[in-house]
Amino acid sequence: MHRLPTPRTARRLAATTTAVLFSALLAACGGGGDGSGTATGGSSSGSSSSSGSSSSTGVTGTLSGTAATGAPVVGGRVDVACAGGADLTTTTSASGTWQVALSGHALPCKVRVTGGNLSSSQALHSVAVDLGNVNITPVTDLIVANLGGTTPAAWWAAATPAELGKISATQVSAAVDRIRSGLNLSTLAGVNPVTATFTATPSDPLDKALEAIKAVFTDYSALLAQAQGNNFAAFVQNYASALNQALAGTGTGTGGGSTGGGTSTGGGSTGGSTGSLTIQVTASGMSLPPITISNVPRPGSQQAFCSEISSSGSSTSLSAAIPSAVGSLTINSCSFSGNVGNISATLAITSPFPISTPYSVVYTYN
């Protein structure tokens, strides 16, 4: 049962969310830059989980994530090449995790895993527009294919530093949405497959989606070809029943993309407890004073948290907090673990003057 906040608390949440966004705008206006009014990805401090810092010459922090096909990619070689800075290489662990340290690099970065327990001809790709978590899976491979309109291998070869510099967070977010909505799997609802923290184990919702895709699309190259064009959703629809059956076979139940898809986390429900919520926003490298409000229901899962943040009808919605006449908001990543939720986003203001700034928001439920 989804436990809604009281009307008074809902009003406070909505007002606080709006204040957070416009605080981010004010910080961007007063936070320096090149005088053009635009903050690029190179000045972003990244998601709150990266603990990175930025400078005018590039970003300093970490990129890390999980490489998996359903099972972890063990001993795989991870290559990272960015819009600026030296190329980086590392090896995946027994759980498929990997990490590299960036220093003075310019985002975005292209990411690829090969070798290990993958077949000799197999490579999976991903793209990073911010510091923090970057997964490498067949789903991120599909996202890259959709983003580039070509095979991921061809995209990788053509993605020179100059070309990488042209990729925007908005473009990546749009590709994520197209692939996620096309697959229409309940365990992907409200989840960014690129940036969501997950473990390559049978109990993880994102891993279950990977297992279902692997079970149904035995000809992965055909699925990859469809991801490059505009008919991906129509193609996948032909396999919708088989996908839901495969997902049910992993113990998640069906749901066709609804937030109540019968996962062990309870769909979009809250955790049942109510307490205080502290919101901390960082914009253009500047940390603003935290805001604390009381009597806020605690989310019961990452799916519940991310759905609330991205839903236009939610009292905690970031997307709905800024009037369309003023600008727009793009959520680049969303994660929730324990009692902490992390949002990395890009705020684009069109009036009274154009400005774009990356920022992160940390929600701590006490």
- In this structure, are 209 and 323 located in the same domain? no
Give the residue, 157 or 334, on which the prediction is more confident.
Answer: 157
- In this structure, are 282 and 360 located in the same domain? yes
- In this structure, are 211 and 284 located in the same domain? no
- In this structure, are 188 and 73 located in the same domain? yes
pTM for the full predicted model: 0.58
CATH number at residue 188: 2.60.40.1120
In a domain, 48, yes or no: no
Q: List pLDDT tens digits, range 114-161.
A: 999 999 889 999 999 999 999 999 999 999 999 999 999 999 999 999
Q: Which of 207, 223, 249 is the last residue before a domain boundary? A: 249
- In this structure, are 339 and 282 located in the same domain? yes
Q: DSSP secondary structure string, 278-344?
A: EEEEEETTEEPPPEEEEEEEEESSHHHHHHHHH-TTSTT-STTSS-TTTEEEEEEEEEEETTEEEEE
Q: List pLDDT tens digits, range 167-205.
A: 999 999 999 999 999 999 988 988 999 999 999 998 899
Q: What is the mean pLDDT of residues 19-23?
A: 56
What is the pLDDT, as a whole number, of residue 50?
A: 40
In a domain, 284, yes or no: yes
In a domain, 170, yes or no: yes
Q: What is the mean pLDDT of residues 239-251?
A: 82
Q: Which of 222, 249, 276 is the last residue before a domain boundary? A: 249
- In this structure, are 14 and 113 located in the same domain? no
Q: Which of 181, 214, 249 is the last residue before a domain boundary? A: 249
- In this structure, are 213 and 313 located in the same domain? no
What is the pLDDT, as a whole number, of residue 196?
A: 94
In a domain, 68, yes or no: yes
In a domain, 261, yes or no: no
Q: DSSP secondary structure string, 40-60?
A: -GGG----TTT--EEETTEEE
What is the pLDDT, as a whole number, of residue 310?
A: 66
Tell me the pLDDT band of 314, cut-offs 50, 70 and 90: low
Structural domain count, the chain: 2
In a domain, 227, yes or no: yes
What is the pLDDT, as a whole number, of residue 275?
A: 82
In a domain, 50, yes or no: no
Q: List pLDDT tens digits, range 27-85.
A: 555 444 333 333 333 333 333 334 343 332 488 999 999 999 999 999 999 999 999 99
Phi-psi region of 41 (alpha: psi -120 to 50; beta: other; left: phi over 0): alpha
In a domain, 114, yes or no: yes
- In this structure, are 215 and 179 located in the same domain? yes
- In this structure, are 209 and 299 located in the same domain? no
**Measured between alpha carbons, how far is 278 from 276 in angstroms, rounded to an integer?**
7
- In this structure, are 86 and 196 located in the same domain? yes
Structural domain range at position 196: 57-249
- In this structure, are 285 and 335 located in the same domain? yes
363 contacts 348 by C-beta, under 8 angstroms? no
Q: What is the mean pLDDT of residues 356-360?
A: 71
- In this structure, are 120 and 194 located in the same domain? yes
Report DSSP state, residue 188: G
